Chain A
Amino acid sequence: MATHTLIALVENKPGVLNRVASLFRRRGFNIESIAVGHTEIPGVSRMTILVDGTTAAVEQVRKQLDKLIDVVKVTDITDESAVDRELALIKVRANPATRSEIIQIVDIFRASIVDVAADSLVIEVTGDEDKIDSLFLLLKGFGIKEIARTGRIAMTRGAAGPITIAEEKPQQKAARPKKTKGANEISNL
């Protein structure tokens, strides 16, 4: 058992996230985290999915995902050299006495403070899960009010070649709804 990182390129169509999530539930696989966003290709979104399982089980997940019509490509990058990042927003209690100590910790982690209030700070931190976990532990003593994490996104390093779709000739697909606004598009998934 190990945590695998799958990258899925999917058609940005209504219900895609539902199809993917439903597949995991139906086949009894657990999603640790899932992060979705646009890609450089119009109409294609990228999902980074963390899933726990044996290599054989994850291979089955990969193939099942690939079988979905709206999933264009699935790659397991677990064994590839890759950069992976997660972003977290942490709202921590802060008063004049503790504020400078918190700022020092934030500096060490190369995180940043994005909001200051009388009794709290909001810290933005980017890094792998370990880094965020460590920062979280250090801040815990001050009192965490709230935390929001994005889940991992990942990209293979240069040598491995990009995970993308070979450009095809423009297709006439009236079935594909044309979306313009990014936010709208995500909410459509």
Chain B
Amino acid sequence: MKLTGAQILCESLIKEGVEVMFGFPGGAVLPFYDVLPDYPQLRHILVRHEQGAAHAADGYARASGRVGVCVATSGPGGTNLVTGIAGAYLDSSPIVAITGQVARPFIGKDAFQEIDITGITLPITKHNYLVMRAEDMAAVVNEAFHIARTGRPGPVLIDVPRDVFIEEAEFHYPGKVNLRGYKPTLQGHPAQVKKAAKLINEAKRPVIIAGRGVIISGACPQLKELAEKGQIPVVTTLLGIGSFPQSHVLSLGMLGMHGMVHANMAVSAADLIIAIGMRFDDRATAKVSGFAPHAQIIHIDIDPTEIGKNVRADVPIVGNVENVLEALNEQVSPQNRVEWISQIEEWQREHPSTAIRETESLLPQYVVRQIHEITQGKAIVVSGVGQNQMWAAHYFQYERPNTLISCGGLGPMGFELPAAVGAKVACPEETVWCIAGDGGFQMTIQELGTIVQEDLAVKIAIINNRFLGMVRQWQQLFYRRRYVATPLAGPDFVKVAEAYGIAAVKVTDRLQVIPAIERAMEHRGPFLIDFVVEPEENVYPMVPPGAALAEILEQPREEVSAR
């Protein structure tokens, strides 16, 4: 039977198990929207800006482990997706973006709302397609989802000219993809695994650095086994948070520019680094030449281009983390590294990185910790970018994978609210807390409308310091405290929320924090809390830009004691 391109697209999405799409209609993509009522199993969530659609699809993918789908029209629809696609690309998040394109005869003519979106997204997608015939549609969708979710996941864009949506073709779903140019290596090379096991067994001061690859490949149990069997302390990257329970005695928390002091010290003193599913981002390594100067490095990653890209690897293992760790665990001998672990514990006692200073004023750290306490850690936290992101990473204790959703690689302010939309749609039974800054929140504030329209019970905590906080912190520390273009005269967020029909409360005193969070939790629908916090609070610990991991600054002690 012949179907239109739009119908084939819908049928194919259903074949790929898609249940929900985040999108925004427009001229070129209208033929697709027109057939949607015939496919009630495809839920469409109308966002308020296409950037929100891409971030929501990303948040959905991160929370659920499934492919997130976003839809936009040609021209500005596509360009508005770009930030969200880039965020998904840098953090290996599987999304499929579908864009309308002007009709085939108009391509290349600078037609109304024509933009070369496959050209624009070339460096920020894992792959992209311009579908020029309806008969190609099914195979393209099949390939796109395969590419998005396998190997190192990532975004794939499908651009469809308006007349291809209308063109008719036989629908036949291939179901099986065989791309000769795309064969991810899944098993680690046995000789390399053996070498790695030998290094691990001989190491005196090993440290595991776990990244998001552990979570993506579902290797958290294998990571735990490796750590426990070899008694190897585990630090994580920002995106690796949740790969290893932070309450575990071997957990050292996050490393990097805003890592825990003892985690950075452990990496700097280590004689062996076992880097698993991570890519040595500069925010994790700090100055590369000063990174783990005494250590040999085992680097396990599914993406061969990551090996040796930023940091030398003594034993590279390309493969799916789960498979590699399974093979490795068989060869790692049980150890008790009492001396090394007690050394790290001593550092941790001497440098409590997440202590909150005593003060009467309302501190952002306190707010995040209370969210953790009141939810008992049973929540998905979606952070923005900047200070709020680091406090969300530091003061909430993460025990399970995919419980911190944060856009680390790209760092797009405004990620938090739409990504929280995606997370809540993916996990309606879970409590979703969106921890936002007052700056980033205003970048995608319009998605409050989406939350109301879809009745999504997202809980929003605005860490409102009336500054672009992280930029201000850099100005304070490195630009002689000249606060150029960082003070914000924000709106009354409570009134904004109320205008959308969202219950909200402003908190200015620390005594109001717990009741406000409790009220948000008890409230059936979405709830917003505007936490008016200490304006010039800084994120510590901090490795200054250009310094090595071990050269980490702690919160000045006079600041801790004086106030």
Whether a CB of chain A sits under 8 angstroms from the CB of B534 is no
Q: Is the CB of A68 within 8 A of B180?
A: no
Whether a CB of chain A sits under 8 angstroms from the CB of B181 is yes
Assuming the contacts A64-B305, A168-B178, asked whether A69 and B123 have C-beta atoms less than 8 A apart, the reply is no
CB distance from A154 to the nearest CB of B (A): 21
CB proximity to A under 8 Å, residues B298-325: 303-305, 307-309
Inter-chain contact count A-B, CB under 8 Å?
A: 61
Assuming the contacts A15-B118, A18-B119, asked whether A172 and B174 have C-beta atoms less than 8 A apart, the reply is yes
Q: Is the CB of B122 within 8 A of A69?
A: no
Q: Is the CB of B178 within 8 A of A171?
A: yes
Q: With a CB–CB cut-off of 8 A, which chain A residues contact B139?
A: 172-175
The residue in chain B whose Cβ has the minimal distance to the Cβ of A16 is B181
Q: With a CB–CB cut-off of 8 A, which chain B residues contact A32?
A: none
The residue in chain A whose Cβ has the minimal distance to the Cβ of B304 is A63
Whether a CB of chain A sits under 8 angstroms from the CB of B438 is no
Whether a CB of chain B sits under 8 angstroms from the CB of A19 is yes
Contact string against A for B residues 109-137, beta-carbon threshold 8 Å, 1 for contact and 0 otherwise: 00000000011001100110110100110
Q: Is the CB of A56 within 8 A of B308?
A: yes
Q: With a CB–CB cut-off of 8 A, which chain B residues contact A71?
A: 181
CB distance from A95 to the nearest CB of B (A): 46
CB proximity to A under 8 Å, residues B349-371: none
Contact string against B for A residues 57-95, beta-carbon threshold 8 Å, 1 for contact and 0 otherwise: 001100110111111110000000000000000000000
Q: Is the CB of B132 within 8 A of A69?
A: no
CB distance from A67 to the nearest CB of B (A): 5
Q: Is the CB of A70 within 8 A of B174?
A: no
Whether a CB of chain A sits under 8 angstroms from the CB of B56 is no
Q: Is the CB of B122 within 8 A of A11?
A: no
Q: Is the CB of A69 within 8 A of B308?
A: no
Q: With a CB–CB cut-off of 8 A, which chain A residues contact B119?
A: 18
Q: With a CB–CB cut-off of 8 A, which chain B residues contact A181?
A: none
The residue in chain A whose Cβ has the minimal distance to the Cβ of B140 is A175
Contact string against B for A residues 25-66, beta-carbon threshold 8 Å, 1 for contact and 0 otherwise: 010000000000000000000000000000010011001101
Give A15 to B50 CA distance when docked, in angstroms.
26
Whether a CB of chain A sits under 8 angstroms from the CB of B516 is no
Give A56 to B316 CA distance when docked, in angstroms.
14
CB distance from A113 to the nearest CB of B (A): 41
Whether a CB of chain B sits under 8 angstroms from the CB of A127 is no
Q: Is the CB of A174 within 8 A of B136?
A: yes
Q: Is the CB of B135 within 8 A of A174?
A: yes
Q: With a CB–CB cut-off of 8 A, which chain B residues contact A73?
A: 181
Q: With a CB–CB cut-off of 8 A, which chain B residues contact A168?
A: 178, 180
Q: With a CB–CB cut-off of 8 A, which chain A residues contact B138?
A: 174
Q: With a CB–CB cut-off of 8 A, which chain B residues contact A14?
A: 130
Whether a CB of chain B sits under 8 angstroms from the CB of A158 is no
Q: With a CB–CB cut-off of 8 A, which chain A residues contact B126?
A: 69
The residue in chain A whose Cβ has the minimal distance to the Cβ of B126 is A69
Q: With a CB–CB cut-off of 8 A, which chain B residues contact A72?
A: 180-181
CB distance from B116 to the nearest CB of A (A): 10
CB proximity to B under 8 Å, residues A133-184: 165, 168, 171-175, 177
Whether a CB of chain B sits under 8 angstroms from the CB of A22 is yes
The residue in chain B whose Cβ has the minimal distance to the Cβ of A63 is B305
Give A174 to B173 CA distance when docked, in angstroms.
10
Give A69 to B136 CA distance when docked, in angstroms.
17
Assuming the contacts A60-B305, A64-B305, A175-B136, asked whether A69 and B127 have C-beta atoms less than 8 A apart, the reply is yes
Q: Is the CB of B136 within 8 A of A60?
A: no
Give A19 to B307 CA distance when docked, in angstroms.
22
Assuming the contacts A59-B308, A60-B309, asked whether A69 and B179 have C-beta atoms less than 8 A apart, the reply is yes
Q: With a CB–CB cut-off of 8 A, which chain A residues contact B174?
A: 172-174
Q: With a CB–CB cut-off of 8 A, which chain B residues contact A19?
A: 122
Contact string against A for B residues 163-206, beta-carbon threshold 8 Å, 1 for contact and 0 otherwise: 00000000000100011111000000000000000000000000
Q: With a CB–CB cut-off of 8 A, which chain B residues contact A70?
A: 127, 181
Whether a CB of chain A sits under 8 angstroms from the CB of B271 is no
Give A101 to B303 CA distance when docked, in angstroms.
58
Contact string against A for B residues 252-290, beta-carbon threshold 8 Å, 1 for contact and 0 otherwise: 000000000000000000000000000000000000000
The residue in chain B whose Cβ has the minimal distance to the Cβ of A41 is B180
The residue in chain A whose Cβ has the minimal distance to the Cβ of B303 is A67
Give A26 to B123 CA distance when docked, in angstroms.
8
CB distance from A131 to the nearest CB of B (A): 35
Whether a CB of chain A sits under 8 angstroms from the CB of B147 is yes
Give A63 to B126 CA distance when docked, in angstroms.
14
Q: Is the CB of B308 within 8 A of A11?
A: no
CB distance from B418 to the nearest CB of A (A): 27
The residue in chain A whose Cβ has the minimal distance to the Cβ of B135 is A174
CB distance from B7 to the nearest CB of A (A): 16
Give A63 to B318 CA distance when docked, in angstroms.
12
Q: With a CB–CB cut-off of 8 A, which chain A residues contact B136?
A: 174-175, 177
CB distance from B3 to the nearest CB of A (A): 14
Which interface residue of B118, B127, B139, B180 has the most chain A CB atoms within 10 A?
A: B180
Assuming the contacts A67-B303, A69-B182, A168-B178, asked whether A175 and B308 have C-beta atoms less than 8 A apart, the reply is no
Q: Is the CB of B181 within 8 A of A60?
A: no
Give A73 to B179 CA distance when docked, in angstroms.
12
The residue in chain A whose Cβ has the minimal distance to the Cβ of B170 is A174
Q: Is the CB of A67 within 8 A of B140?
A: no
Whether a CB of chain A sits under 8 angstroms from the CB of B143 is yes
Q: Is the CB of A66 within 8 A of B140?
A: no
Which interface residue of B136, B138, B181 has the most chain A CB atoms within 10 A?
A: B181
Q: Is the CB of B130 within 8 A of A69?
A: no
CB distance from A169 to the nearest CB of B (A): 8
CB distance from B94 to the nearest CB of A (A): 14
Give A48 to B111 CA distance when docked, in angstroms.
37
Q: Is the CB of A22 within 8 A of B182?
A: no
Q: With a CB–CB cut-off of 8 A, which chain A residues contact B130?
A: 14-15
Give A127 to B127 CA distance when docked, in angstroms.
38
Q: Is the CB of A22 within 8 A of B135?
A: no
Q: Is the CB of B178 within 8 A of A175?
A: no
Q: With a CB–CB cut-off of 8 A, which chain B residues contact A60?
A: 305, 308-309
Assuming the contacts A173-B139, A174-B174, A175-B136, asked whether A18 and B122 have C-beta atoms less than 8 A apart, the reply is yes
CB distance from B289 to the nearest CB of A (A): 15
Q: With a CB–CB cut-off of 8 A, which chain B residues contact A64?
A: 305
Q: Is the CB of A68 within 8 A of B123?
A: no
The residue in chain A whose Cβ has the minimal distance to the Cβ of B152 is A67
Give A11 to B123 CA distance when docked, in angstroms.
18
Give A66 to B118 CA distance when docked, in angstroms.
20
Instruction: Select which of A10, A22, A67 is within 8 A of B123 by beta carbon.
Output: A22
The residue in chain B whose Cβ has the minimal distance to the Cβ of A173 is B139
Instruction: Select which of A15, A18, A26, A68 is within 8 A of B181 by beta carbon.
Output: A68
Closest 9 CB pairs of A and B: A174-B139, A72-B181, A175-B139, A63-B305, A69-B127, A175-B136, A69-B182, A175-B140, A63-B304
